[in-house]
Structure 1
């Protein structure tokens, strides 16, 4: 049986991975926006707005704590029963859970049970997303022709800004409602939209075929019996470098979006619509950055692009927050957009970089664990930034320093990645064709 894959087949797989990933990020990002605008008032009700916001961000972080659990579960299953099956499970789980959030009664209806149920749903979201991205990237790369791996690996990444556009756009629309209508039922509509979107994603995912590399592993009986254990024992340095390389694209993103929305509305008193529009503009620009980044990875290598993107993000950290601090709408939008564009450079190539770190029999587990170790840390970034902000008397320099630290970790990881990669199976397979 031939393992050759045509460009047409690779595009079909990449598009299916992209659509499912876009839905996953739409669902996951909805919670971050709602934590800044809704959950702190309707679910985590306290006498102190700062405490309520911190509690809402803590529940937001719970989803990131759960993501490594999803990586362990679905990484193992992906390396044992297949990438495609796991992607069908994860997209179904997060679609259902997100729709349920839109049906939950708030604190004023059922009391303390409301934030408990909400946090439980967030944890289930995290488990689903923990298994989604690694599988989507692995499947896209393993179907891609060797010379076009960068562009196909970037397709699932584009799901992130699309998810941002959909989630922020949905909240922009419902924010036009009168405040009492928004609080009563308007905020629920974006969550309930997850149900019909799930049907579309499932329809497309069912058309995707299993990875040819995984099918070869099945035929030759070369699957790892305990892939998660083997990743830790055989590829621990790769695991750490992989996590560091993705930290900026995830943690930096939440710093510039979720934290900035809270900081802008609560401290700077910027109209929330300005901040939401800022995330929309940044997401549109990010799509172009991701497409370009995939092409650049094919020419210059993913490690080098990650290094440059990390350094550029460190340089722009203070200027970006200075622009936001002006509270001038156009400058605020510019600050958010520039910061997101630069931190998206390493994110654009993380699919290729991570899949190159791990051999096929450990790839789903290795990629998922690396990405979700970074996500575990990233989930606490808005919480840390909020705490630092309070300690500094409401000044943004602490957030800028936090962004610089994150960016330099990613830059260093990008420099190390080409030196420690274990994966050569794609090149070997290509030579066999």
Structure 2
């Protein structure tokens, strides 16, 4: 093969890049899930102490939600960096911002110590965290997909999604350990330890990110000296607004729906049903283990049936599971609650495993980082407020669990529509496809 054909990708290279992307994404989700859990059981008591319990919980979830508001901004800015300068430098910057902002939460004084400055600083750190996450997932997915053979993109894109259950396992495990402390010790300093762990995790993730090679698709675009949009964000909204809307719809269940069956369930089970915090956190830990294997299996199914079809199937399955999930949580039985969270999260995984593949194949390479990031993060800007919306609906209905289940069904319907349109809008990389065809032809001639 000549020097002009160095874009060919191998399974070993794809696996290495996917693992590097996964490690960074695991840190991303560790930080985000950690904040979500703390919002449900810590921040409402330590940073919003002047409010009644329901208002404090709403304010805590609002702080959780503001991180999702800043994610689209991060998607626009880091998307521009990734599409114009390179995928790799954007991903190094995002992982540093995520780790630092999370670690600083671990040293933030509470309301009793510094007053109103405490929740304000907490919200600012959450905004910075969300800003960086806005460019993290889209970049990691883009790198994994562009380093993969086309026919194996499903499995390697799903490897990036493994960061979600691993992040959950790490964060839930860390919270479960510190919850073993006496209540006074937990409130005084114990809850801070999982946030401080973000610093050493950042060092590991940063080292692996620096070992990543730039995307071969991006390098090929550079080599061919193809003109890049000066403002990728503007170009994406001018040239492909329908693709962005379809991508947002397809992403809603994996973001908003997931937080309904995790963050909201933690809050509902502990505050309304009266289940001990430790039992609910342990349930999410068990569910995350199931997610790990579900994503691996569903990644292969994406390759066989297509990301769009899996998105539709997963939406239907999750909708059918919605009411049983909340009915099981409402029993207050720890075993049934664990079963409920497993059922809810693993149903969503049918969709989530293919989200990266579906979105990446909806946008041309020169706009891919921006398109994938904007679609996913704009959905996240809405989905991040789902726990707060559900909490408000539950309060208005007298804590009737069916209200939360109905909200989850509505999210499923939106995602199913996104899967339908995503299938119709699929684009195959001409650069990679042509190269792989030429590589196959060369191999055939040599043999």
Q: Write the distance in 2 (CA, Å) between the matches of 1:362 and 1:176.
A: 48
Q: Is the 8 A contact 1:261 1:275 kept in 2?
A: yes
Aligned residue number for residue 35 of structure 1: 39
Residue in structure 2 matching 1:430, options 426, 431, 436: 436
Residue in structure 2 matching 1:339, options 323, 326, 344: 344
The equivalences for 1:43-62 within 5 A come to 43-62=47-66
Secondary structure class of the residue paired with 2:174: helix
Residue in structure 1 matching 2:325, options 320, 329, 337: 320
Residue in structure 1 matching 2:178, options 170, 174, 187: 174
Q: Write the distance in 1 (CA, Å) between the matches of 2:231 and 2:76.
A: 11
Q: Write the distance in 1 (CA, Å) between the matches of 2:416 and 2:283.
A: 26
| 2:394 aligned with 1:389 | yes
Residue in structure 2 matching 1:133, options 110, 133, 137: 137
Q: Write the distance in 1 (CA, Å) between the matches of 2:265 and 2:64.
A: 15
Q: Deviations over 1:227-258 (max 9, x none)?
A: 11111111111111111111101111100111
Aligned residue number for residue 237 of structure 1: 242
Large movers: runs of 4+ above 6 Å: none
The equivalences for 1:7-406 within 5 A come to 7-222=11-226, 223-406=228-411
TM-score normalized with structure 2 length: 0.95
Single out whichever of 408-417 and 33-42 deviates more from structure 2: 408-417
Secondary structure class of the residue paired with 1:267: helix
C-alpha deviation, 1:412, in angstroms: 1.5
C-alpha deviation, 1:373, in angstroms: 0.9
C-alpha deviation, 1:224, in angstroms: 2.4
TM-score normalized with structure 1 length: 0.99
Q: Write the distance in 2 (CA, Å) between the matches of 1:236 and 1:155.
A: 28
Single out whichever of 172-181 and 422-431 deviates more from structure 2: 422-431
Q: Deviations over 1:386-427 (max 9, x none)?
A: 000001001111000000000111112112211123443343
Q: Write the distance in 2 (CA, Å) between the matches of 1:31 and 1:183.
A: 15
* Gaps in structure 1 of 5+ consecutive residues: none
Secondary structure class of the residue paired with 1:357: coil
C-alpha deviation, 1:5, in angstroms: 2.1
Q: Write the distance in 2 (CA, Å) between the matches of 1:423 and 1:382.
A: 37
Q: Write the distance in 2 (CA, Å) between the matches of 1:298 and 1:231.
A: 27
Secondary structure class of the residue paired with 1:278: helix
Q: Write the distance in 2 (CA, Å) between the matches of 1:231 and 1:37.
A: 40
* CA-atom RMSD in angstroms: 1.0
Q: Write the distance in 2 (CA, Å) between the matches of 1:281 and 1:217.
A: 44
Q: Write the distance in 1 (CA, Å) between the matches of 2:339 and 2:411.
A: 21
Q: Write the distance in 2 (CA, Å) between the matches of 1:375 and 1:430.
A: 35
Q: Is the 8 A contact 1:240 1:370 kept in 2?
A: yes
Q: Write the distance in 2 (CA, Å) between the matches of 1:368 and 1:148.
A: 21
Q: Write the distance in 1 (CA, Å) between the matches of 2:271 and 2:381.
A: 25
Q: Write the distance in 2 (CA, Å) between the matches of 1:77 and 1:393.
A: 48
Secondary structure class of the residue paired with 1:209: coil
The number of residue pairs the alignment matches comes to 433
Q: Write the distance in 2 (CA, Å) between the matches of 1:430 and 1:390.
A: 56
Q: Write the distance in 1 (CA, Å) between the matches of 2:163 and 2:254.
A: 13
* Gaps in structure 2 of 5+ consecutive residues: 440-447
Single out whichever of 372-381 and 220-229 deviates more from structure 2: 220-229
Secondary structure class of the residue paired with 2:273: coil
Q: Write the distance in 2 (CA, Å) between the matches of 1:303 and 1:47.
A: 45
Q: Deviations over 1:144-178 (max 9, x none)?
A: 01221110111110001100110111000000000
